Amino acid sequence: MAQASSLLPPPGQPVVRLVKVHHCFGSGDTRTPVLVDIDLEVMPGEIVILSGPSGCGKTTLLTLLGGLRALQEGEIEVWDGHKSAYRSLRGLGEAELVEVRKSIGFIFQRHNLLDSLTATQNVRMARNLREESPDSEADIRDILTFLGLEEKLDLKPAGLSGGQRQRVAVARALINRPRLVLADEPTAALDEVSGESVVSLLQHLARDRDDVPERFDAVKRAHLAKLTGATPKGCTSVIVTHDRRIMNEADRIVEMGQGRIRSNVVVAERLFIYEGLRRCPAFAALLPETLYDLADKVSIKLHPSISLGPERLKQTTKVESFAPGTIILRQGEPVDVKSRFYLIREGQVEIRQDRGEGEKTLGMLGPRDCFGDRALVKREPRNATVVAAGRVVAYAFSFGELWESLEKSLADVGNFIHRFEAVYGMPARQA
Ligand X SMILES: Nc1ncnc2c1ncn2[C@@H]1O[C@H](COP(=O)(O)OP(=O)(O)O)[C@@H](O)[C@H]1O
Residue 57's binding partner among ligand X, Mg ion, none (Cβ under 5 to 8 angstroms by kind) is ligand X
Integer CA distances (angstroms), 430 to 9, 125, 195, in order: 42, 66, 51
Per-position x/- string for 6-45, each x denoting binding to ligand X as judged by CB under 6 A, each - no binding: -------------------xx-------x-----------
Taking the complex as a whole, the smallest distance from the CB of residue 317 to Mg ion amounts, in Å, to 36
Q: What is the greatest pairwise CA distance in the chain?
A: 88
276 binds ligand X (CB under 6 A): no
Per the CB < 8 A criterion, the answer to whether 198 and 216 are in contact is: no
Alpha helices in 160-217 (DSSP H): 162-174, 192-206
Q: Interface residues for Mg ion in 41-70 (CB under 5 A)?
A: 59
Measure the CA–CA gap between 197 and 167, rounded to whole angstroms: 10
Per the CB < 8 A criterion, the answer to whether 23 and 73 are in contact is: yes
54 binds ligand X (CB under 6 A): yes
Instruction: Mark the segment that binds ligand X (CB under 6 A) among 49-57, 133-141, 209-217, 280-288.
Output: 49-57
Taking the complex as a whole, the smallest distance from the CB of residue 47 to Mg ion amounts, in Å, to 19
Judged by beta carbon, residue 59 or residue 385, the one nearer Mg ion is 59
Q: How many residues bind ligand X (CB under 6 A)?
A: 11
Measure the CA–CA gap between 414 and 408, rounded to whole angstroms: 10
**Three-state DSSP class for residue 361:** strand
262 binds ligand X (CB under 6 A): no
Taking the complex as a whole, the smallest distance from the CB of residue 58 to Mg ion amounts, in Å, to 5
Burial environment of residue 391 by CB neighbours within 10 A (0 to 12, 13 to 18, 19 or more): middle
**Three-state DSSP class for residue 93:** coil
Among 51, 59, 200, 385, which residue sits at the site for ligand X (rule: CB under 6 A)? Answer: 59
Complete DSSP assignment for 247-275: HHH-SEEEEEETTEEEEEEEHHHHHHHHH
**What does the DSSP 8-state code read for residue 398?**
E
Judged by beta carbon, residue 3 or residue 54, the one nearer ligand X is 54
Among 55, 162, 366, 381, which residue sits at the site for ligand X (rule: CB under 6 A)? Answer: 55
Measure the CA–CA gap between 98 and 93, rounded to whole angstroms: 9
Listed in sequence order, the residues at least 6 apart from 345 whose beta carbon sits closer than 8 Å to its beta carbon are 272, 304, 308, 319, 367, 393, 394, 395
Judged by beta carbon, residue 185 or residue 346, the one nearer Mg ion is 185
Judged by beta carbon, residue 25 or residue 412, the one nearer ligand X is 25
Residue 60's binding partner among ligand X, Mg ion, none (Cβ under 5 to 8 angstroms by kind) is ligand X
Taking the complex as a whole, the smallest distance from the CB of residue 35 to ligand X amounts, in Å, to 8
Among 38, 56, 113, 417, which residue sits at the site for ligand X (rule: CB under 6 A)? Answer: 56
Taking the complex as a whole, the smallest distance from the CB of residue 387 to ligand X amounts, in Å, to 50
Judged by beta carbon, residue 59 or residue 241, the one nearer ligand X is 59
Beta strands 260-266 and 252-257: pairing type? antiparallel
Residue 25's binding partner among Mg ion, ligand X, none (Cβ under 5 to 8 angstroms by kind) is ligand X
Taking the complex as a whole, the smallest distance from the CB of residue 156 to ligand X amounts, in Å, to 29
Taking the complex as a whole, the smallest distance from the CB of residue 55 to ligand X amounts, in Å, to 4
Q: What's CA 38's distance to the chain center, in Å? A: 16
Taking the complex as a whole, the smallest distance from the CB of residue 109 to ligand X amounts, in Å, to 9
Complete DSSP assignment for 218-233: HHHHHHHHHHHHTS-S
Q: Which is nearest to 341 in space by CA: 289, 389, 386? A: 386
Residue 331's binding partner among Mg ion, ligand X, none (Cβ under 5 to 8 angstroms by kind) is none
Q: What's CA 216's distance to the chain center, in Å? A: 27
Taking the complex as a whole, the smallest distance from the CB of residue 23 to ligand X amounts, in Å, to 9
Among 7, 16, 44, 60, which residue sits at the site for ligand X (rule: CB under 6 A)? Answer: 60
Beta strands 32-42 and 85-88: pairing type? unpaired
241 binds ligand X (CB under 6 A): no
**What does the DSSP 8-state code read for residue 341?**
E
57 binds ligand X (CB under 6 A): yes
Judged by beta carbon, residue 52 or residue 157, the one nearer ligand X is 52
Residue 56's binding partner among ligand X, Mg ion, none (Cβ under 5 to 8 angstroms by kind) is ligand X
Task: Summarize as ranges the residues that interact with ligand X (CB under 6 A).
Answer: 25-26, 34, 52, 54-60
Kindly list the residues in this chain that would bind Mg ion in the complex (CB under 5 A): 59
